[in-house]
Amino acid sequence: MQSSIESLGEPRFLSPLRHGHSERFKDDTHRILYDDTLAATQTAFRNGEMPLSFEVAGPREKIFFDPPKVTAAIVTCGGLCPGLNDIVRGIVNELYNHYGTTRIYGIRYGYEGLVPRLGHVPLTLRPESVSTIHTFGGTILGSSRGPHDVGEMVDHLEELGVDILFLIGGDGTLRGGAAINAELRRRGLPKSVIGIPKTIDNDIMFIDKSFGFETAFAEAVKAVSAVHVEARGAVNGIGLVKLMGRHSGFIACFATLAAQHVDFCLIPEVPFELEGSRGLLEALRHHIGQRKQAVIVVAEGAGQDLMQVSDEKDASGNPRFGDIGLFLKEKITDFFSGRRMEINLKYVDPSYIIRSVPASPQDNVYCTRLAQAAVHAGMSGRTNMLVGRWHGSFVHIPFDLVTHGRRRIDPNSDLWLSVLETTRQPARMREA
């Protein structure tokens, strides 16, 4: 079984990269297995099936668009994340310097910028205008959350003459990209929609690692180290850090492993209780009694079942979560106060600081390679897809494969076992 990538038609033009790049050209035979274990491959062949595989990203010898005549547009949507400017810079440089595409628009403030009545005029992007943007955080294009009328957005793409639209955003943005692509196909317009998945939580399906993730957890470690110092310097000191992770606890887990100071790591995938002999509060009391200090890292989506959470949604349609950090701070303080036990609790939420920093050098390289792969895909006439890295290789993945779920931590995985071994916290903090 092969994941099918939608194409605008037969490629008609020789790639301008053919001089010096001939050995790098990819074709439809270059593929990466979804499940590269021997057992999965043997099972598929035993059943007379081809294992699921993804098309390898990279330049094609023949392309769909005539590069000098192409108009491209870039849009960044959703929350900020380290590496957004790096992606924008990478796309502009690849288009301009290697394909000779000079008409490149930067759409302002997310999907809002594709609705003219909202008044956001696109930027004209050139290599010189993006040459240093990777040195600071955020996005020079601005961003916003929430959907807009697909018909209006496609109308504006037609007005601008855009041939390739590059979307940088999370699952909501990618769903929007799929809707734009469907409207383009309904109108019979040969325009490509290519996604670069953005999620600081590292929770996009079929992606090894999201861009900006390494920068994010490296910054998170600084906050964890700071509260560890505070906890160590006080009588019965407790450091509490809330990190990003609405549905997936990857940042919390990696920050825990990297910091080596964490005693309790709480993530959305592993439920816990506060009260009772096996609950978090008793485990914390026992730990303080022995060690005289403790550090707790909690992902923002953990423990939502313990709070009274409203049914409100944000502009992107996501549920508004309760603040688990402030909730735990109050509960821990009340618990020890009721037992006449002195504690010194310091609470830190570094989320917006982490989101706004520039990408690390390693993330910078990753962003550049993602951007280059996205441009190659768009020029080849592929559409309704994103680029990502799977098993160490850059691949093409259809939108519909990644928008129906989230990548989450398996409580039985080696990663969570490593966290338990590092923190030495109870494997279960709830009654059986």
Active site positions, annotated: 201
In angstroms, what CA-CA distances link 74 with 90, 101, 111, 210, 326?
11, 13, 10, 18, 38
Tell me if 348 sits within 8 A of 227, measured CB to CB: yes
CA–CA separation, 296 vs 343, rounded Å?
14
User: How far apart, in Å, do the first and last CA atoms of the chain sit?
Assistant: 41
Tell me if 367 sits within 8 A of 86, measured CB to CB: yes
Instruction: Give the pair of three-digit tokens for residue 356.
Output: 């706004």
- Which value, to the nearest 10 degrees, does the dihedral of the CA atoms of residues 398, 400, 406, 410 take? -70
318 φ, ψ (degrees, to nearest 5): -85, 145
Pairing of strands 13-14, 62-63: antiparallel
CA–CA separation, 227 vs 253, rounded Å?
17
Angle at 205 between CA 147 and CA 164, to 5 degrees: 50
Tell me if 387 sits within 8 A of 57, measured CB to CB: yes
* Count of other CB atoms within 10 angstroms of residue 308: 6
Residue ranges with strand state E in 16-134? 31-33, 53-56, 62-63, 71-76, 103-107, 123-124
In angstroms, what CA-CA distances link 201 with 39, 253, 260, 318?
30, 11, 21, 14
* Count of other CB atoms within 10 angstroms of residue 28: 10
Angle at 144 between CA 115 and CA 130, to 5 degrees: 90
Instruction: Give the pair of three-digit tokens for residue 11.
Output: 């490629």
DSSP one-letter string for 217-286: HHHHHHHHHHHHHHHHTSTTEEEEEEE--SS--HHHHHHHHHH---SEEE-TTS---SSSTTSHHHHHHH
